[in-house]
Structures are given as C-alpha cells and as structure tokens.
Structure 1
C-alpha cells in the first residue's frame, strides 16, 4: 500500500476548523509544511534549489534595505524574514500564509503569526506548479488583508527573469501592476522603501 492510501483514513480528516489560537499550539515541524486557508490546512508547495537560492538572495537585499531605512528613521523599525507566518484574517475562519519573504514592521516576538497590518511587502517566488496559487489565490488574499505591496518573482533554472511589483489600490481593494522589473532595467526601487537590486546575484543561480 502506498503512502497516500495509508494516509487516507477517516481519523486523518481534519476534525475542526483551525483557529489562530490552535495554530500557535501546533508543533513547528507541522506548521512548516502547511498553511491555513479559511480554517483548513493546505500543504505548501515544495520549492527547488533555484527558487530557494532566489529567496535567500532577495531576503538579503530586503534585509539590507530595512536596516538602512531604519538607520535613517529609527521610528520605522523594519525587519525582513523568510517564511514568516502572517495571519491575513482570523474571522470568520483563519487564513495564515508563509510568504517566501516579508518586509514588516517590528513586532514583539510573542506576536506570532504576525498580523497582516504589520506587513509592508510580501514576496513570492513563483514557479509553474505554484503560478495559479501565487497569481490568483494569494494575490486576492494579500490584497484583502490590506498588505500594501506584493512582489511576484519569476525564475528559470539559472536566473530571475522578472519581478512584478504590485501596489494595493485601496479604492477598489486589489493590486495594480506598478513596475515589471527585468535584469538590467533597474538597480533600485522605492517600493515601499529604497531597495537595491543586485541583478548579478539574481542572474547567476547556479553554484
């Protein structure tokens, strides 16, 4: 019997809707594998080595930008992190995502998952097996949660082929394309803070 048939048992059906409170009590090993969509556990799509490398390098750039911005304006206190838990809403049923990278305002360590109103930018490194989720489901959810900026990063086996930056249009409640960045087209963006893009680091993903 294969693994999927061993799993498919009545006792393995989710017995009740997941709340933010119950989510905090789950073991970290479980939380790393799933997200919560309207109270239901949804397994996260796995990423390949090129996507993980892209995520790490983008995180470095956003973290550097956050430190420099905070140095200029200590009241800002911005942080950047990868795979941080963000609660988009908790009623009527909780939705909790783990964007590949998030730029967010400082919050107490015990305030986890981070409420969406602390988040300034979310970044998703997309791939063919995740494009529907990233372009439709997550784009709608992040906009509904009021997150001001959404970056959608396309990557091939060797390089980042483009970064689409979307700004939230509060009047209509959805994102509008702000800029479509491609290698060599821009080396700094102000979305929402000044971020230096090192395309050399994003166009050589093969170690």
Structure 2
C-alpha cells in the first residue's frame, strides 16, 4: 500500500501536535464509532509474537471515576514529598489529570500469560509484552489526536487502586489509566515544556554514530 506525500505529512502533523492533555476537557460525548476507531488503532499496534496482550477497560460511571480520583489525590501527595523545595511548589501548581472532567477513562492492561508461556520474541526479553502494550497506547494517542480528541496518561496512581476499582484480576498487569475527550484547545507546546519544567532535548545530542558517544 503506497502512502502519498499528503498522507505522510498528515501523519507527521499528528505526531508533532500530540499532547498529554490534563485539562481543557469538554463534556461533549465521544461517538461510539469514533471511540471504536481509536480502540481499533490500538488493537493494530505491533505486538511481540503477535500475542496482542492488551485489554481496555472503559470507565464512564462517575462513581468509579471518583474512586480513581481519590487514589490519584493520595498518590499526588506522596509524589510531591519526593521533590526538593525548589521544585515542589511548581509541581503542586500543575494539573496532572482529567479523571473527572474527561467523558471516558480507559485502563489499559497486559495479560502476560496470553497465548502461552513461550512466545516468539519474549524468550530472552520477557518484558516485550509490556512494551507491546505501550505501543498500543501510542497508537491510541495518535488516533485520538487525528480525531481532534485529547488524551492524557495518569501515571500518578497506584496499580492497586485501579485493580480494586475496576475488578482487574491479580494476574493481569495494569499499564496505564488514560483520560479521553474532546478539548477546548491543543497547546502549541507540551505543557511542562511551556511551563519551563524541562526543555526539549536537542535531537543531535541523542544520536550516536556507530558507537555510544560518537
């Protein structure tokens, strides 16, 4: 299948305009067919040994979101205490989730036993199934941006909070909790870059020619 220049440019536009959205969510519902396309993009991610280890738990009930938000609030306090004083106030000023505001939450999991104990590509690096699941999340992120829908990854939360709230089995790994919804705006730059938390690294400094350090 040939990719035209216009299609190529559209892909790069989506990649460069993707954002981790924490606020500016609208209450506008996501149509079922749009959500299906986004999940379909996730399901077409590459996976080690074609094991497709992912599952997607859709969260729309406010009661469940409240439980998850409580878990986030506790984890945020724990996290703030780990920063030194020069960074703590700025960290605490950031809004780092949209659990209650976003119409849909998605918990992405990894079933590490799917398709048997021996999987092509996991014989030496067993963690490849987790990496595959992250590829599915990235596909979802880009598909959402192509649909003009915001997505934010809430990593400041303990797995057991999500496991309990969503009845996730103990032998299934929790990988991510995502907030999904239409937004009032997409920022020109990532929020933390815009706020001066960290700059974007120079790509030329990260490329090594032949051997590390060259």
Whether TM exceeds 0.5 here: the answer is no
**Which protein is richer in helix relative to its size?**
2
Q: TM-score, normalised by structure 1?
A: 0.28
**Which protein is richer in strand relative to its size?**
1
Larger Rg: 2
